[in-house]
Copies of this chain bind each other. A is one copy, B any other.
Amino acid sequence: MNKHRTLLKHHKLSLTAVRLGVLEALDAQPHSSVEEIFAVVKDKIVTTSKQAIYNNLNTLVKHGIIREIKPKGEPSRYETRVGDNHHHLICRECHMIVDTDCFSGAPCLEPMDDHGFNVDEAEILFWGICPSCQNNTNKEGSKDE
């Protein structure tokens, strides 16, 4: 995975084992949480710490190398797919996240009325039930309180 080294050099970021591990983990499993990334990285670098994961994720986000997704009431997830204007579907039950492309043609960065704001990002999250959970619910009957 030499592309990560090149990418980091480009941003003048140190090339450390943990940092590369984070990027590899995210490439392998997009929309991972800190816990998930930590588990994967720790497998290779047993001495690593959760704080190092947090540090790196924050640094990478600041540099625009990765993107953070933070659904209501859930820990943050991260992805390496940046730069294109894609959005996310999230399942209310199992919390799975799936990428979805932007509206055809519709300019996502333009709200109807921007009230004078200088808008630089449109964050779009589609909430619903994923196919798998739709099946489970049907089979098991309603589990809602």
Binding site for B on A (CB under 8 A): 68, 70, 72-73, 76, 87, 89, 91, 98, 100-104, 106, 109-131, 134
CB–CB B103/A117 < 8 A: no
Nearest CB of chain B from residue A113's CB, rounded to whole Å: 5
Contact present for B121 and A112 (CB under 8 Å): no
Number of copies: 2
Judge whether B111 and A131 touch: CB under 8 Å.
Answer: no
With contacts A70-B73, A101-B112 taken as known, whether A122 is within 8 angstroms of B126 at the C-beta atoms is yes
- Chain B residue contacts of A110, Cβ below 8 A: 103
What is the CA–CA distance of A72 and B120 in the complex, to the nearest angstrom?
Answer: 15
- Quick check: B102 and A117 within 8 Å, CB to CB? no
Q: What 3 A-B pairs have minimum CB-CB distances, sorted nearest first?
A: A116-B131, A119-B128, A117-B128
A112 touches B123 (CB 8 A): no
Which B residues are in CB contact (< 8 Å) with A104?
A: 112
Known: A70-B73, A72-B70, A106-B106. Contact between A118 and B128, CB under 8 A? yes
Provide a sorted-by-A list of 28 A–B residue pairs whose CB atoms are within 8 angstroms.
A68-B72, A72-B76, A87-B111, A89-B111, A89-B115, A89-B117, A89-B119, A98-B115, A100-B113, A100-B115, A101-B113, A106-B106, A111-B124, A111-B126, A115-B131, A116-B130, A116-B131, A116-B134, A117-B129, A118-B134, A119-B126, A119-B128, A120-B128, A121-B126, A122-B126, A122-B127, A123-B124, A123-B126
